[in-house]
Structure 1
Amino acid sequence: MGDDVDRIKSRLDVVDIVGDYVKLTRSGRNYKGLCPFHEEKTPSFYVSQERQSWHCFGCGKGGDIFSFVMEKEGLSFPEALSLLARRAGIEIESYRRSDGSGKKTLFDIMEEACSLFRTCMNGDQGSVPRGYLDRRMIPPQVRSSFELGWSPPSWSFMVQYIKKKGISLKDAERCGLVLRGNRGPYDRFRGRVIFPIRDITGRLVAFGGRIVDGDGAKYLNSPETEIYSKRRTLYLIDKAKGAIRNGGHSIIVEGYMDALRLHMEGYPQTVATLGTALTEDQATILKRLADEVFICYDADQAGQTAAIRGMYVLQQAGLSVKVVALPEGKDPDDLLRSDGGKARFNDCLKEALPLVEHHIKLLSPAIKDDRTRKSAIHDLLEGLSNIDVTDVSPYLPSLAALLGIRDFEVLDALERVRSKRRKTDRSFDTEEIPSSLPDEGQQSQEMPPLPEIALISLLWSECDLRRKCDTREVVELLSDPRLKLMASSIMMGESPSSLEKRWLEMGETFQLRVLARGGAYLDEFTQNSDWKWRHFCHLLYRQKGQMRYNELRVKMLKGEATTREIREMEDLRQKLVSQKGS
């Protein structure tokens, strides 16, 4: 077993393994991100490529690729060994749980089924599906590399194979391969081209089947099982993740054939949804890999309108969403197979619109039509209410003109939609005000915002800044009371070494942890101290302005704001928009 472990470690990089679960950014010689094992707002989770290890300074957990996968997936060591061996392309002895059951066994059964489907595709039984794929311009090498298979049009082909292999029919049912009827078990997939669906780690979790001849649904997917949730899965994510991470964006399409075609034509960052609207879980997976996503769905307006809600889910997760408009009547596969299709597709990518702009353009005709105006406005406001007001602000003039109202009335309408949603989501119609402040113990575990930590660390390390700054102005920029106290102590003239000694004697480690984290964070910036000071002051001024804007907005919506406060709010809004673009 020791040799297997060493071979696997030699082929896999801890940054790639952890990067499937955590959004990592370079920090000096290491990588950092938010810990996947406890809640935190400031990254304390570090990955060392040099040592091939990971460690969280917040919760204390750490180790190598095996311990990470065991912790994250809830696997035993043999199961983690087997999973990583498959990813590394290494054949090892098959380790199982002592009772011979559980998720590991289900993955094995899925691999057995995949092997059978591929054998059928390449054998005498596969002439029909091979002909179909030839017509769709899917060549043999692509069929092989993407593991395409064939399920013969039989009710018992898989059932007989399962029995022959000595696999429990009950486990085959748990995998979704077999159904049980009045006359006994029968095959789920019959007469279909099979598309294996793997999760981001490469485990085979489901199949999609495309019918070739006969009656039945055009596409049939595996049901939800112990190892498969369509909400948390994207077709080809296992192959696309590296290209997404390296290229800085992903492309989302609807169908298996669309995804295959894009991979064939040089867009390896492509994934496909699995017959559902986009979900928060899928958004989380994509956000870990890159910050930008291009949505490339079929061109018909009905389909685009239905998919909008899922697109806003992506933007809510912090992704920059752009929507690709294809020629009418074309899907990505159709377009790329046509003459000059790749050049036309590239033009479509270049002309992709930000989600908000696309949504406005999509609904403008319906809003201008008296018969559909009301429902179209409702759909538009429902979508826009899901995202931050600063993302909507650049479009306020065009929205106001389209709706025939003033800018602030657009904001009011969006707030009413949000308010209605909040009331629907809550069990009781009460203000969302915490019943009490966090206790001292809870507060001590929470680190303040990183810009505030950086500001304190600069004061600590730069005596010139301490001499130039006004204590009151610095303290007013800080929101955390513990940092306010630290700033006052530092600015009063006591030397850093004296303060450090006093904190240690009193057993106050919070200040030292803040300074350690701030120092490490500041090391990532190559600019001089004056630039860093201006940069973090700007961030905190903006944060303070946003808080004041929100406070005034609440007063205005309650009808309690004075004329002066409304003017102040509008001035703040314009400043926030201009600062965001700077």
Structure 2
Amino acid sequence: MPIDRHIIDQINEKTDIVALVSPYVNLVKKGKNYMGQCPFHDDKSPSFSVSPEKHLAKCMACGEGGSPIVFYQKIKNVSFPEAVKALAQPLGIEVDVEVNSNPTLKEHELMKEASSFYTFYLSNSTYGKTALNYLEKRGILKEDIAHFEIGLAPKEKDALYQILKNKGFDPTMMVDLGLVKQREDGSYYDLMTKRITFPIHDKEGRVVGFSGRTLEDDPVKYLNTPETKIFKKGEVLYHLFQASRDIRMKKKVILYEGFFDVIASYKSGLGNAVATMGTALTKQQALLLKQVTSDVLIAYDGDNAGQQATMKAIQILEEARLRIDIVSLKDGLDPDDYLKKYGPEAFQVAFTKTVDPLVFSYEFHKKGLDLKNSNDIQEFKTRIKRMLRLKDQSIQEIYLKQLAKDIGSSYDSVMPKDNSYGTPDQKPFLPKPKPAPVKSLKKYYSAEIQLFIAMTLNYDDARRIDDALGTQYVADVDLFKLRGHLMLGYYKTYEIFDLETYKSTLTPELLDVFESKVENTLVWKITPKFEETNITDLLSVMKNIINEKRYIQVMEAIKNENEAYTQTAYVEEQKKIKNQMEKGKVKS
């Protein structure tokens, strides 16, 4: 059930908002209010205002923040019910709200214990001195070790197993989580030994797995936790949880391939860094990034494998509608080696010199081709055509002119007669657009969008509108799905509509629908307020859609001389429906 509005107001009014914000912002009293640097963006001058009188904490520059509950939700990156429950508890306010229980609580406790053991062993053992010397040679100091919770798996074959067993953890769970293995004789041994350990956290900050870097002469340099019920390699990003605040402040994330690249970035002052742990970027990881930023800087290794991975990442990130830039480090060095060779200052400068994905892709496609060879010229043209397939005309013209120049030909020659590249009068390579709404149905699409927006502004209105429209009065199936999710999904947990929280609950498909059909409309952008008469009028418009749809079908049948009826019968039905529509017509 939705949280009672009275409870929400009570929590917001009784929470000491200055005390709530102070751990995250250095506040200075200015008159009635307090000011400080915004914790949600890279704030050069104090823009974050805290008003004890109004119970608000909000940035005057970026707009982030709000009531105590909303501030807590955003700064802690938790759900609305979790924020409500967390703030209600110290106030002694009882809240009848179900926060999703953690069915894997024991598993996460076990992984936390394993991580604690590894970090303790690194700093408190003879073998740990060897590991610390190795890390120091790589420029990793004590403060870096603490931030990344780096540890060490001992030489002993079952040290971790014995520690966890003595703490009362089930050996079967240890096996299931990939920490230990079982021999045929029934005895247990640790998965990782003699390895520096890097804990991997999920987006909530819980340890879900490890990657171990060998300290010995082992052909397997890195050994990772196998996939388990809490660890899916393609669904997590290294350092994302720790970097979330930096990412929000800088409104950009740097995407690397490996752990040491992220550590190098952090040491150089670029803490908004995450890594894919040496694997190809996945769609799930791209959506994780989209939850914290819309701007991604790819900084993969400069070798051929790194460039191939960059090309794949560009495609995944573009599909997720993220802005992309690429940094190419000179000498083909990976980020960690570049920092060692040139130092932190040069490292930061290098990250200001980026190229857009088309520049990178163009050079990548040209690489290794002999542009005096006719076969290579044809291959190059094919690659560039594919690259430009979804780009607008002005972008295509720029690159087609560059293509003509590179192959020593004219611009006209790269514009085939079959129009596979397009003509100046067309937008080539664009996918076929979805059929435009039938002209006479446009007012219904408009009404349905406005009603959906009204549903996001008030829960009581949302219930009334949903009951009135039901499954019968629908102009657009996608909007119908959004409406269903809003009522049966979102509003089952949240009473107040919060844009970012709502978007985080949508599937990728529904997120695309919401962004394209609702969020990008003018009606949404002007944040309207709907009066009772507005909603009543819009509902009246929608009530007539069934007759309108039937009328269109009849007209289409007359046009096609459908054999099921005679043309005369259709004309008669058309007149009948037209009369019904006129009787029920309401001005929209």
State the TM-score, normalized to the length of structure 2: 0.58
Name the CA shift for 1:163/1:434 in 2 (closer, same or farther; >3 Å). Answer: farther
Match of 1:546 in 2: none
Name the CA shift for 1:221/1:385 in 2 (closer, same or farther; >3 Å). Answer: farther
**CA distance in structure 1 between the partners assigned to 2:264 and 2:417 by the alignment:** 42
Of 293-302 and 191-200, the range deviating more from structure 2: 293-302
Name the CA shift for 1:115/1:368 in 2 (closer, same or farther; >3 Å). Answer: same
Letter of the structure 2 residue corresponding to residue 152 of structure 1: P
Structure with the higher helix share, 1 or 2:
1
1:206 and 1:228 in contact (8 A); partners too:
yes
Question: 3-state SS of the aligned residue for 1:321?
Answer: strand
1:209 and 1:221 in contact (8 A); partners too:
yes
Letter of the structure 2 residue corresponding to residue 219 of structure 1: Y
Question: 3-state SS of the aligned residue for 1:205?
Answer: strand
Letter of the structure 1 residue corresponding to residue 307 of structure 2: Q
Superposed counterparts of 1:19-418, under 5 Å: 49-53=66-70, 68=80, 102-124=103-125, 125-184=127-186, 185-338=188-341, 340-369=342-371, 370=373, 381-385=385-389, 392=396, 394-402=398-406, 406=412, 408-409=415-416, 413=420
Letter of the structure 2 residue corresponding to residue 396 of structure 1: L
Structure 1, unmatched stretches of 5+, are: 20-25, 32-45, 55-63, 72-76, 86-95, 423-429, 462-495, 512-582
| 1:113-136 C-alpha deviation (Å, 9 max, x unpaired) | 001101110122312211211211
**CA distance in structure 1 between the partners assigned to 2:268 and 2:417 by the alignment:** 43
Letter of the structure 2 residue corresponding to residue 107 of structure 1: H
Letter of the structure 2 residue corresponding to residue 128 of structure 1: T
**CA distance in structure 1 between the partners assigned to 2:308 and 2:77 by the alignment:** 43
Residue 326 of structure 1, CA deviation: 1.1
**CA distance in structure 2 between the partners assigned to 1:104 and 1:175 by the alignment:** 13
Name the CA shift for 1:420/1:113 in 2 (closer, same or farther; >3 Å). Answer: farther
Residue 256 of structure 1, CA deviation: 0.8
**CA distance in structure 2 between the partners assigned to 1:144 and 1:263 by the alignment:** 13
Letter of the structure 1 residue corresponding to residue 151 of structure 2: G
Letter of the structure 2 residue corresponding to residue 398 of structure 1: Q
Residue 361 of structure 1, CA deviation: 1.7
1:250 and 1:270 in contact (8 A); partners too:
yes
**CA distance in structure 1 between the partners assigned to 2:525 and 2:143 by the alignment:** 59
Letter of the structure 1 residue corresponding to residue 166 of structure 2: K
| 1:344-368 C-alpha deviation (Å, 9 max, x unpaired) | 3234223211111011123324233
Match of 2:474 in 1: 441
2:202 and 2:237 in contact (8 A); partners too:
yes
Structure 2, unmatched stretches of 5+, are: 1-10, 25-37, 42-47, 49-55, 91-98, 423-427, 446-471, 483-513, 543-588
**CA distance in structure 1 between the partners assigned to 2:327 and 2:404 by the alignment:** 25
Residue 194 of structure 1, CA deviation: 0.5
Name the CA shift for 1:377/1:120 in 2 (closer, same or farther; >3 Å). Answer: farther
Residue 173 of structure 1, CA deviation: 2.1
Residue 239 of structure 1, CA deviation: 1.7
Name the CA shift for 1:421/1:260 in 2 (closer, same or farther; >3 Å). Answer: same
Choose the corresponding residue for 2:539, options 501, 505, 508.
Answer: 508
Residue 315 of structure 1, CA deviation: 2.5
Name the CA shift for 1:206/1:456 in 2 (closer, same or farther; >3 Å). Answer: closer
**CA distance in structure 2 between the partners assigned to 1:97 and 1:355 by the alignment:** 40
Once superposed, what is the RMSD of the aligned Cα atoms?
A: 5.0
Name the CA shift for 1:378/1:213 in 2 (closer, same or farther; >3 Å). Answer: farther
1:295 and 1:323 in contact (8 A); partners too:
yes
1:175 and 1:225 in contact (8 A); partners too:
yes
| 1:184-205 C-alpha deviation (Å, 9 max, x unpaired) | 4332212111011112221111
Letter of the structure 2 residue corresponding to residue 110 of structure 1: M
1:192 and 1:209 in contact (8 A); partners too:
yes
Match of 2:460 in 1: none
2:150 and 2:198 in contact (8 A); partners too:
yes
**CA distance in structure 2 between the partners assigned to 1:398 and 1:318 by the alignment:** 26
1:316 and 1:386 in contact (8 A); partners too:
no
Question: 3-state SS of the aligned residue for 2:296?
Answer: strand
**CA distance in structure 2 between the partners assigned to 1:309 and 1:411 by the alignment:** 30
Q: How many residues are aligned here?
A: 409
**CA distance in structure 2 between the partners assigned to 1:65 and 1:288 by the alignment:** 10
Query: Aligned residues: percent identity?
Result: 25
**CA distance in structure 2 between the partners assigned to 1:154 and 1:289 by the alignment:** 41
Letter of the structure 2 residue corresponding to residue 182 of structure 1: E
Name the CA shift for 1:503/1:249 in 2 (closer, same or farther; >3 Å). Answer: closer
Question: 3-state SS of the aligned residue for 1:328?
Answer: helix
Letter of the structure 2 residue corresponding to residue 121 of structure 1: L
**CA distance in structure 1 between the partners assigned to 2:210 and 2:524 by the alignment:** 52
Name the CA shift for 1:353/1:10 in 2 (closer, same or farther; >3 Å). Answer: same
**CA distance in structure 1 between the partners assigned to 2:330 and 2:68 by the alignment:** 50
Match of 1:36 in 2: none
**CA distance in structure 1 between the partners assigned to 2:317 and 2:255 by the alignment:** 11
Question: 3-state SS of the aligned residue for 1:367?
Answer: coil
**CA distance in structure 2 between the partners assigned to 1:388 and 1:143 by the alignment:** 47
Match of 2:488 in 1: none
Question: 3-state SS of the aligned residue for 1:228?
Answer: coil
Match of 2:561 in 1: none
State the TM-score, normalized to the length of structure 1: 0.58
Question: 3-state SS of the aligned residue for 1:240?
Answer: helix
Name the CA shift for 1:155/1:49 in 2 (closer, same or farther; >3 Å). Answer: same
| 1:251-278 C-alpha deviation (Å, 9 max, x unpaired) | 1121111111110111111111112112
Residue 508 of structure 1, CA deviation: 2.8
Residue 249 of structure 1, CA deviation: 1.6
Match of 1:483 in 2: none
2:391 and 2:430 in contact (8 A); partners too:
no
Letter of the structure 2 residue corresponding to residue 211 of structure 1: T
**CA distance in structure 2 between the partners assigned to 1:157 and 1:410 by the alignment:** 72
1:18 and 1:68 in contact (8 A); partners too:
no
**CA distance in structure 1 between the partners assigned to 2:100 and 2:316 by the alignment:** 39
Residue 232 of structure 1, CA deviation: 2.2
Residue 381 of structure 1, CA deviation: 5.0
Of 136-145 and 367-376, the range deviating more from structure 2: 367-376
1:399 and 1:410 in contact (8 A); partners too:
no
Q: Is the radius of gyration larger for structure 1 or structure 2?
A: 2
Residue 155 of structure 1, CA deviation: 2.9
Name the CA shift for 1:328/1:434 in 2 (closer, same or farther; >3 Å). Answer: same
Name the CA shift for 1:180/1:267 in 2 (closer, same or farther; >3 Å). Answer: same
Letter of the structure 2 residue corresponding to residue 118 of structure 1: T
**CA distance in structure 1 between the partners assigned to 2:289 and 2:346 by the alignment:** 26
Question: 3-state SS of the aligned residue for 1:368?
Answer: coil
Residue 303 of structure 1, CA deviation: 2.5
Name the CA shift for 1:456/1:386 in 2 (closer, same or farther; >3 Å). Answer: closer
Name the CA shift for 1:120/1:504 in 2 (closer, same or farther; >3 Å). Answer: closer
